[in-house]
Amino acid sequence: MSAKKPAGDGNGRAKSAGGARSTSGSKPARGAANSAGAKPPKAPAGAQPARGVAATGGAKSAKGARSPASTVRSAAAQPARAETTAVPAEIGHAVIGLGLMGRTHLRALEHARATGVPCRLVAVADQDAKRLDGRAPGGGNLQAGREGEPLFDPSVVKTTTDARALLADPSVHSVSICTHTDTHVELALAALAAGKHVLVEKPIALDPRAVKKLADAARKAGRIAMPAMCMRFWPGWSWLKSRVEDGELGALESVVFQRLASPPAWATHFYRDAKRSGGALVDLHIHDADLVQWLFGAPDSVASTGDLDHVTTLYRYQKGPRHVVAEGGWDHASGFPFRMRFVAVFAKGTAEYDAARAEPLHLHRNGITTPVDITNGDGYQGEMRHFLASVLRGETSTSPSMDEAAQVAELLVRERAALGAG
């Protein structure tokens, strides 16, 4: 790791090889102890005893809002657990993997810092040294940025091509793992063994057993391992969760999710290899499979049609909505605009979300269509703020959890089997 002092804010890039080898054996990176028997490290310098509540109390942000550590709540957020750990006065966060999703996590971290969360970017890692210059590539669906835009200042943020060196840095309290799917578990196990909290990009792994292994390691290490299920925090989608729970619109009778795109134009060597990426079924459709399970629990049965690059699944529930469908595919022609939609039929109205609209969420009832005012921002910002708030509260687990990620991985295995894809 270059000898540069930690810095203030930052942004970045993402899905890349990020300094890790394949996780075919799901072994931790060399140089780090196996997390199965790892003990939580001593509290970092500046740490305060956990109190089970926000570490920053009633501190105000630059905009006059109360610190997100005490005010951040969402449809996905859960009350603080009894299990707590030492709380740093300011979270030193690092990002491993500076491709598309790494850039997204860096922006979300910068947004959290700008809105009062006591955090800063201290280090980044990527196997490709050219990505350590602090500039962004282009590409992406919802999170596309300007090519060459500044992401972080490499004169103050530590940079390295060796993820193990980053994990050994005591100034790093938490880390985003934004590498290719088949490196996630290996890197996350090494991070937990080093005493770090981890935010892991989805999919965690193709094999549910690997995800369960990571969940067990997090419990033993006493650290948060949170899957980056951003749609749980997406404005409009979290609104849907609230309406299902509070019954304001009556019972939900039908819901259809749709997520369509052209094939990823970045990291094509990875995404076009379904044995590594899982195809659109796992890498894209996972968002809606997670939403279905989050809203209604595991379905009694599934029926799927299509293939790994374009799937439609019917989820059947004996007790639940009579009609639950999700379609996901990235087999459209180049230039096809990304589509993210849902239509939810309640007893007292129909809600329709379309990300392509300036006012994406509409509610139709009694012959009148009304745009619904939803929170600004996106799910990437929401998941990062939720993760950081959980760390600041001294929690050792949060929701979404790795156990939930394992359940979604199992659901996708069921869908793959229903496709006849083995």
pLDDT tens digits for range 350-370: 999 999 999 999 999 999 999
User: Does the predicted model carry a pTM greater than 0.85?
Assistant: no
Would you say domain 236-374 falls under CATH 3.30.360.10? yes
pLDDT level of residue 346 (50, 70, 90 thresholds): very high
Mean pLDDT of 22-30: 35
Residue 55 is encoded by which pair of tokens? 């570490």
CA distance 269 to 311: 21
Query: Does residue 77 carry a pLDDT above 70?
Result: no
**pLDDT value at position 150?**
87
Mean pLDDT of 169-198: 98
Is the preceding peptide bond at 235 cis, omega within 30 degrees of 0? no
Q: Give me the percent of the chain exceeding a pLDDT of 70.
A: 77
**pLDDT value at position 421?**
76
**Residue 36, strand partner residues:** none
Would you say domain 35-228+380-399 falls under CATH 3.40.50.2300? no
For residues 64 and 160, which has the higher predicted lDDT (pLDDT)?
A: 160
pLDDT level of residue 197 (50, 70, 90 thresholds): very high
**pLDDT value at position 139?**
53
Query: Does residue 148 carry a pLDDT above 90?
Result: no
Query: Does residue 312 carry a pLDDT above 50?
Result: yes
Q: Lowest mean pLDDT: which of 31-45, 108-122, 218-232, 291-305?
A: 31-45
Looking at every residue in the chain, the average pLDDT score rounds to 83
CATH 3.40.50.720-classified regions of the chain = 35-228+380-399
**pLDDT value at position 169?**
97
pLDDT level of residue 256 (50, 70, 90 thresholds): very high
Mean pLDDT of 296-301: 98
Closest residue by Cα to residue 225 from 33, 88, 387: 387
CATH 3.30.360.10-classified regions of the chain = 236-374
Query: 39-63 as b/e, with b when 16 or more CB fall inside 10 Å?
Result: eebeebeebeebeeebbbeeeebee
**Residue 93, strand partner residues:** 121, 174
**pLDDT value at position 37?**
35
Residue 399 is encoded by which pair of tokens? 């929701």
CA distance 130 to 266: 16
**pLDDT value at position 208?**
98
Q: Lowest mean pLDDT: which of 12-26, 108-122, 238-252, 328-342?
A: 12-26
**pLDDT value at position 45?**
39
